[in-house]
Chain A
Amino acid sequence: MAKIIVVTSGKGGVGKTTTSASFATGLAMRGHKTAVIDFDVGLRNLDLIMGVERRVVFDFVNVINGEATLKQALIKDKQFDKLHILAASQTRDKDALTQEGVERVLNELAQDFDYIVCDSPAGIEKGAFMAMYFADEALVVTNPEVSSVRDSDRVLGILSSKARRAERGEDKVKEHLVLTRYNPTRVSKGEMLSVDDVKEILAIPLLGVIPESPSVLTCSNSGVPVIREEGTDAGAGYRDLVGRFLGEDLPHRFITEQKKSLFSKLFGAP
């Protein structure tokens, strides 16, 4: 039986799609058959971040409406054959995602995938709700910034009261904090909320800290999930995060300022 994981946040632009792409890729790199679905109807994005935009023929809504089979719509990654992508529709019809339709697609996927990753749109409206509703686990993507933290708390409230697991009285959705765009230098200057601050406020376990990193933009330029890029701090952060999700006990990195070497202190090199 597949595990359904929603990547959610409430607030837009915090790194959900970046996280969904790297997390799904990471699970597939580790040998797990993984499907990642873009729930952002009208604003398709995940295909670009994963570099498959030119291979989209059918989308999520086509499958829901019976205009294509799931097999026709799933895009198999060129690098990792365990990784499959289901693109969002660009329709402007807000009601395109029906609960029955989404459930049918998830059930069909669950038959031969290990993990189903749902990239949620921003907000708490229909699309975001559909992405959350069926989840077994949730990655709550948060930036160390007041409005992002408050929105994450709001989403946690919805997950614990409105998700299918809550409605059925099952064990609650397992929540993981993913703190992204973290800048340890600003934290040490007292300009930015720290990991501990955010952990204390949201009171959920920390899965990973992803540093603010220029490599995220350059990777998105070329359509390569940052986790695939060796030698980048954000990529390493995501690889650790996937390892922890799979049960490995890895210490958190990128939380404190990188100590500058004597050489760079003397010569001012980065």
Chain B
Amino acid sequence: MDWLKFFRGEKKTSAQTAKERLMLAVAYQRSGQANGPSYLPRLREELLGVVRKYIQVPDDAVQFSVQREDGLEVLELNITLPDQ
């Protein structure tokens, strides 16, 4: 962030907007959710439902990533529990 511009109240350039949008789009693509199996979004929803039977968690508590390791496709699943 260009603080000088910020304090002067200048608007973002359209190239900056493009860059910020791309960073997010690319991060999603790289997380593997985009090119993983098509059942991933449903699996995620159902898992979220199961977790919520026991504990209240926000929507982004269940995260996936699909990675390749030594020629094997690995599905990594993270469930973040809220602080007690």
Contacts and interface: CB of A to CB of B under 8 A. Distances in A.
B30 to A, nearest CB: 7
B19 A197 contact: yes
A197 B18 CA distance: 10
Contact of B22 (A149, A169, A192): A149
A191 B22 CA distance: 15
A161 interface: yes
B15 A192 contact: yes
Contacts of A166: 68, 71
B71 A197 contact: no
A161 B68 contact: yes
Interface residues of B, number: 18
A145 B22 CA distance: 10
B25 interface: yes
B13 A193 contact: no
A168 to B, nearest CB: 8
Contacts of B25: 146, 150
Interface residues of A, number: 24
Interface centre among B26, B30, B70, B71 (most CB of A within 10 A): B26
A36 to B, nearest CB: 29
A160 to B, nearest CB: 8
A169 B71 contact: yes
A190 B23 contact: no
A186 to B, nearest CB: 8
A240 to B, nearest CB: 24
Contacts of B70: 169
Contact of B71 (A150, A167, A191, A201): A167
A187 interface: yes
Contacts of A153: 26, 29-30
Contacts of A146: 18, 21-22, 25
A191 B35 contact: no
B84 interface: no
A189 to B, nearest CB: 8
Given A167-B71, A169-B70, A201 B19 contact: yes
B14 interface: yes
Nearest to B26: A153
B15 A194 contact: yes
